[in-house]
């Protein structure tokens, strides 16, 4: 009876995960879906265990590395495409080394929350996702940074400079108003403005990558002005560089 209940729980979780990821990442080909099914099944047993309950982000990052390996994160990143979440998960180290990275990211995320009050900060696996509403950074239909925007980016850059062993991915997004070409151009100009200002604040150029997606990656449906405001955003993905991963592996005895 217990086995039947456990299996039912496991496959229920698998189904829910597949539906959520398929919707979030717009998985439309059977090949991608089959790869995703295999990956999710490989880690479902872990996710349904009682020990998963109550884990903090650091422990969950380590568990993902043990249950599915960094390869599982890489699969999600590949299937997800060029998204902030995919970049973080795809860069995961996993295992004991991943847990050590997670602890460092916990500390950095808390510092960003404290020092950059206008940002939304989320810990994701072994990385950090920082989001600014575009209204905080830019005027309507503008790509030049406002005085308030510069202050916010200065605050973020100050924290980033304290933790040099990370990469920073900057993404620009718009709502659905206007043509694809126009929105893509606007998000490109905004992303470049943010990247340039980060560099001006001393964040090393080799740490930063800029990407822009126009209206192609909404977080929520563009069916109201409130939702469009959410989709007009600039996202920062912060994740370990090669040095941090190498140091974490050595400290954890993984090499």
Query: Any idea what the CATH number is for the domain that residue 242 is in?
Result: 3.30.1330.60
- pLDDT at position 213, please? 93
Q: What is the pLDDT of residue 54?
A: 52
Residue 42, pLDDT score: 45
Q: Does residue 187 form part of some domain?
A: yes
pLDDT tens profile 221-231: 999 999 998 88
Structural domain contains residue 62: no
Task: Classify residue 70: in a domain, yes or no.
Answer: no
Could you tell me if residue 232 is inside a domain?
yes
Which residues in the chain show pLDDT less than 50? Answer: 2-11, 16, 20-21, 23-25, 27-28, 31-35, 37-53, 63-71, 74, 77-78, 81-82
HEC string of the chain?
CHHHHHHHHHHHHHHHHHHHHHHHHCCCCHHHHHHHHHHHHHHHHHHCCHHHCCCCHHHHHHHHHHHCHHHHHHHHHHHHCCCHHHHHHHCCCCHHHHHHHHHHHHHHHHHHHHHCCCCEEEEECCEEEEEEEHHHHECCCCCCECHHHHHHHHHHHHHHHHCCCEEEEEEEECCCCCCHHHHHHHHHHHHHHHHHHHHHCCCCHHHEEEEECCCCCCCCCCCCHHHHHHHCEEEEEEEECHHHHHHHHHHHCCC
- pLDDT value at residue 35: 46
What pLDDT is recorded for position 229? Answer: 87
Residue 76 tokens, joined: 């999600």
Dist. CA 107–CA 162, nearest whole Å: 11
Other C-beta atoms within 10 Å of 46: how many?
16
State residue 253's pLDDT score: 82
Residue 39 belongs to some domain of the structure: no
Q: What is the structure's pLDDT at 198?
A: 98
Number of domains in the chain: 1
In angstroms, rounded to a whole number, what is the distance separating the alpha carbons of residues 45 and 67?
A: 8
Flag whether 186 is in a domain: yes
Within a domain: residue 72? Answer: no
Give residue 94's pLDDT.
78
Q: What is the model's pLDDT at position 138?
A: 84
Question: What range does the domain containing 200 cover?
Answer: 104-252
């Amino acid at each position: 009876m217990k086995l039947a209940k456990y299996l039912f729980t496991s496959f229920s979780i698998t189904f829910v995960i597949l539906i959520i990821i398929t919707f979030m990442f717009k998985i439309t080909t059977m090949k991608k879906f089959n790869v995703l099914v295999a990956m999710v099944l490989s880690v479902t047993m872990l996710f349904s265990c009682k020990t998963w309950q109550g884990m903090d982000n650091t422990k969950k990052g380590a568990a993902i590395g043990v249950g599915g390996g960094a390869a599982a994160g890489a699969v999600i990143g590949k299937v997800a495409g060029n998204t902030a979440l995919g970049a973080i998960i795809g860069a995961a180290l996993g295992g004991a080394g991943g847990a050590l990275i997670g602890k460092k990211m916990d500390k950095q995320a808390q510092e960003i929350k404290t020092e950059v009050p206008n940002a939304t900060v989320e810990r994701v696996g072994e990385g950090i996702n920082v989001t600014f509403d575009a209204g905080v950074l830019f005027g309507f239909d503008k790509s030049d940074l406002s005085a308030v925007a510069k202050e916010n980016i200065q605050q973020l850059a100050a924290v980033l400079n304290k933790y040099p062993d990370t990469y920073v991915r900057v993404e620009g997004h718009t709502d659905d108003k206007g043509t694809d070409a126009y929105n893509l151009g606007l998000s490109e100009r905004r992303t470049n403005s943010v990247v340039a200002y980060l560099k001006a604040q001393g964040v090393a150029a080799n740490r930063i990558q800029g990407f822009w997606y126009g209206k192609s990656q909404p977080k929520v449906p563009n069916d109201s002005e409130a939702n469009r405001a959410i989709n007009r955003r600039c996202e920062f993905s912060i994740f370990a560089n090669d040095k941090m991963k190498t140091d974490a592996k050595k400290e954890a005895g993984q090499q």
